[in-house]
Amino acid sequence: MKLTTTLMATSALIASSVAAGAEEMTIVSWGGAYQASQQKAYAEPYMALNPDVKIIWDESSGEAVAKLRAMAEAGNLTWDVVDVVAADAMRLCDEGLAMEIDPDTMLAPAPDGTPASEDFGDLLVSECFIPQIVYSTTVGYRTDLVGDTPPESICALFDTATYPGKRSLEKRPIGNMEWALICDGVADEDVYDLLATEEGQARAFAKLDTIKDDVIWWTAGADTPQLLADGEVVMGSTYNGRLFALIEEQKQPVAMLWDAQVFDLDGWIIPAGLPEDRKARALDFVYFATDTQRLADQAKYISYGPARKSSAPLVGKHAELGIDMAPHMPTDPANAKHTFLFNYDFWADYRDDLDAKFQAWLAK
Amino acid sequence: MSDQTSSGPVVAADGRPLKQSLQRALRRQKLRALMLIAPLLIFILVAFIAPIGAMLFRSVENEVVSKILPRTVVALENWDYGSGEAPDEPVFAALGEDLLEAVQTKSHTILARRLNYEKSGMTSLIKRTGRKVKRMDMDAPLRPQFIEADQRWADPEVWGVIKAYSSPITAGYFLNAMDLRLTPDGIEKRPESDSVYVLLFKRTILLSALITFMTFLLGYPIAYLLSNLRMKTANMLMILVLLPFWTSLLVRTSAWKVLLQQQGVINDVLVWLGLVADDNRLELINNATGTVIAMTHILLPFMILPLYSVMKTIPPSYVRAAKSLGATDFTAFRRVYFPQSVPGIGAGAILVFILAIGYYITPALVGGTSGTFISNRIAYNISVSGNWGLAAALGALLLILVMALYVLYDKIVGIDNVKLG
């Protein structure tokens, strides 16, 4: 009797998993508020339109490059669409791990007929990369701990006389070295030429040395908002969407310092070598998820700018808070007076070397 | 009286020499034992040793350059780095042919990444040249065409890097991991601004030793209490030891963040008590102190449990006998009890030390910059930078270090002196 029940239960389990019939697609993203916004803006409408598709989320975008390399070596691709930052997409494209995309045939045109390649414009930084959002690494500060004069320039980070207290900066050279050089008097256009030289690098490290004892170094986007809320730091850098959540949703006494924000792109890649049916499904999803309306929809849930020019006028109000999202976009003219675009070519060349030097400098 | 000749071997009942017969019987026994553990052995070989071996092999494997630039590598053998000039036309001709083939299979980008780990700028150099090589005239001299495509091809340093990394097996990764550098001139030391690994190795070993010592200091009294109290109280205390052990690691580490922060609980209490000034709060986190405190807490059960299980087997009658012979409490403890607990200390210490060396989550979260371990760099090299050769070399060095320490431990304490209960 017991044996029969066990046998029946096991076979029922197996049968149910086989008879599910749903087509499954694995999408990889970063987790947290960003992934939640993608789920609401892209995945749920897509599953409503295609009831036989089930989307499974994986939160491994932080290790996407290493994992895709391992999957390619093992010959077993378990991911269908992967969200990566542009620098990682370029690296994956270089190694042949990402599929090449032709924007005009594989991505939707704008509602007025402009082909996708023009609608995305310069943001198509790699042949395998489909941009989704423009986000920036920018600084937030505690309004109640900065005294009477709120900071207006990025050099407030280095001004411990006027703004005493700890700061938090990202634990990598990208962004910090550029800020150090600008605040040491270098013009924007000369920053990367100078950083390519030993003297320029030494100069940036010397400037960072002036605040080194007051810096808490973060590796996760949630670190700085937590440190600001606790009052551990007076000002700190993080992704602008996290600061938006901190200020508007959690109502903390924090304000944004948009000066010298460093823009970066985040978007999709499709792993190379997918079987035909999964590739077709992945391309179908990407076509839907990166059309003009969808990119504008994502801005309803998180304050990252859509990558398409045609989406900008469609950005409306936050879905839950009801506030206008446009002034909170990093691309809004009021916020974007002085910006840096992540210099992909420079950092592709110098990242390994500068990171080793940065870690050596940190360890001393 | 024996009727065997004195020069013949001893024979068993069936006429075979006794030695052979014995060996045959033993062999059958050994074979049976081997068959029993064969599944486990095969599983460990396939799922554990083979993948780790493959990963460790990456630390010396360097097929990229010789596979993608085969002719160039051969042509470079005649070139002398010391001449201070870029090589001659034959080398460039070889490079042209190799690059043309590589660009068609898009493998030149893999070469670019590999060389960029050794010299910044190689990525853009090779990618840019790759775009232009298709339009080059293969019948005309290639040297001026290459130098026109990118100035850097005239730089002997660039060629030096290619030559230094031509062989399929390289010591470059290991040298990198020891803060040295492989140049065409030989091995040279890296500049101070670029050296971090030796420092990290030292820090990892020292901090792990400190953590082991701290867990021993805190864990020994607890284990002693647990093994000597009444059953009921002992079980209650054991639950208090095991509950945190079963709680998620990240939860415990985050709790330490809340406690140790400058605006955290401990500092607030100290300021309220007046022991610490408000603007001069103790820095207990984001440095080595934070790492030691958090990791001591996390690794404490690994010291307590082996100690407890060994102490439970120490008969109390020995200590009573020592006291009855006139020993003071302390002497009885020092000369009778403590030596018997040494195997447990050995087991706990090895466990805690090896775990501490390999940890990277807790040092990453609470270590700041002065409390991170070598494992953080290994993780960086695997996930972010993609330099798996360097990660494998660092891992191999860590393994060798641990084995060396194990041999040292064996010489000093003796590995038979390790018991788990």
Nearest CA in chain A to B279: A165
Q: Greater confidence, A48 or B5?
A: A48
Interface touch A230/B113, C-beta < 8 Å: no
Q: Identify the band that residue B3 occupies on the pLDDT scale cut at 50, 70 and 90.
A: low
pLDDT in tens, A128-178: 999 999 999 999 999 999 888 899 999 999 999 999 999 999 999 999 999
Does the pLDDT of residue A17 top 60, yes or no? Answer: no
pLDDT score for A16: 53
Chain B segment 96-135 residues within 8 A of A by beta carbon are: 106-107, 109-110, 112-113, 116-117, 120-124, 127
CA atoms within 13 A on the CB side of B9: 10
Q: What are phi and psi of A85, to 5 degrees?
A: -75, 165
pLDDT score for A21: 58
Provide, as residue numbers in chain A, all residues whose Cβ is less than 8 Å from the Cβ of B113: 91, 94-95
CB contacts < 8 A (A, B) = 83
Kindly give the pairing relationship between strand A167-170 and strand A215-218. Answer: parallel
pTM of the model: 0.83
Q: What is the residue-averaged pLDDT of chain B?
A: 89
DSSP, res A313: G
Does the pLDDT of residue B355 top 70, yes or no? Answer: yes
Q: Does B286 touch chain A (CB under 8 A)?
A: yes
User: Any idea which of A304-308, B133-137, B207-211 has the lowest mean pLDDT?
Assistant: B133-137
Q: Identify the band that residue B191 occupies on the pLDDT scale cut at 50, 70 and 90.
A: confident
ipTM of this complex prediction, to 2 decimal places: 0.81
Does the pLDDT of residue B127 top 80, yes or no? Answer: yes
Q: Identify the band that residue A28 occupies on the pLDDT scale cut at 50, 70 and 90.
A: very high
Does the pLDDT of residue B2 top 60, yes or no? Answer: no
CA atoms within 13 A on the CB side of B300: 24
- What does the pLDDT average to over A217-221? 87
Does the pLDDT of residue B148 top 50, yes or no? Answer: yes
Interface touch A359/B286, C-beta < 8 Å: no
Q: What are phi and psi of B337, to 5 degrees?
A: -80, -50
pLDDT score for B267: 92
Provide, as residue numbers in chain B, all residues whose Cβ is less than 8 Å from the Cβ of A169: none
pLDDT score for B281: 86
Nearest CA in chain B to A220: B365
Q: Identify the band that residue B352 occupies on the pLDDT scale cut at 50, 70 and 90.
A: very high
**Which of B193, B195, B383 has the CB atom closest to A62's CB atom?**
B383
Q: Identify the band that residue B368 occupies on the pLDDT scale cut at 50, 70 and 90.
A: confident
Kindly give the pairing relationship between strand A23-28 and strand A81-85. Answer: parallel
pLDDT score for B6: 56
pLDDT score for A46: 95
Identify whether the C-beta of residue B403 lies closer than 8 Å to the C-beta of residue B335. no
**Which of A202, A350, A363 has the CB atom closest to B196's CB atom?**
A363
pLDDT in tens, B84-104: 888 888 888 899 999 999 988
pLDDT in tens, A255-273: 999 999 999 999 999 999 9
Q: What is the CA radius of gyration of chain A?
A: 23
- What does the pLDDT average to over A300-305? 90
Interface touch A357/B195, C-beta < 8 Å: no
**Which of A216, A231, A357 has the CB atom closest to B193's CB atom?**
A357
Q: Cα–Cα distances in Å, from A137 out to B25, B80, B255, B270?
A: 74, 47, 28, 36
- What does the pLDDT average to over B158-174? 89
pLDDT in tens, B245-286: 899 998 999 899 999 998 889 999 999 999 988 888 888 998
pLDDT score for A352: 83
Q: Which residues contact A243 (CB under 8 A, 6 or more apart)?
A: A138, A140, A224, A225, A254, A256
Kindly give the pairing relationship between strand A23-28 and strand A53-58. Answer: parallel
Where would I find the H helices in B45-81? 50-57, 63-68, 70-76
Does the pLDDT of residue A19 top 50, yes or no? Answer: no
Where would I find the H helices in B261-386? 265-273, 288-311, 316-324, 329-332, 338-358, 361-366, 374-383
Report the 10 Å Cβ neighbour count for B304.
24
Provide, as residue numbers in chain B, all residues whose Cβ is less than 8 Å from the Cβ of A219: 364
Q: Which residues contact B136 (CB under 8 A, 6 or more apart)?
A: B96, B142, B145, B146, B149
